[in-house]
Amino acid sequence: MKDSATEKVEGTAHTVKGAVKETVGNVTNNPDLEAEGAAERVEGKVQKKVGDVKKVFDK
């Protein structure tokens, strides 16, 4: 099981990667890439929240 810091770092990475994909999809007029990026960005935000929750319960 991952610790809270790992979850938060991975969540941030997914959020950034998703935002980049979303932007590239928008610029290149590629709706599939844009949608994939949006989904990954949301997934990253959820993963960061999981890290926050784990931190609270670890104390």
**Residue 37, pLDDT score:** 97
Distance CA 28, CA 2 (A): 36
**Residue 17, pLDDT score:** 97
Instruction: Look up the pTM and report it.
Output: 0.85
Per-residue confidence in pLDDT tens, the chain, 59 aa: 778 889 899 999 999 999 999 999 999 999 999 999 999 999 999 999 999 998 888 75
**Residue 55, pLDDT score:** 86
Torsion of CA 19, 23, 25, 26, to 10 degrees: 140
What total of structural domains would you count in the chain? 1
**Residue 59, pLDDT score:** 58
Q: Which range marks the domain in which residue 20 is found?
A: 4-58
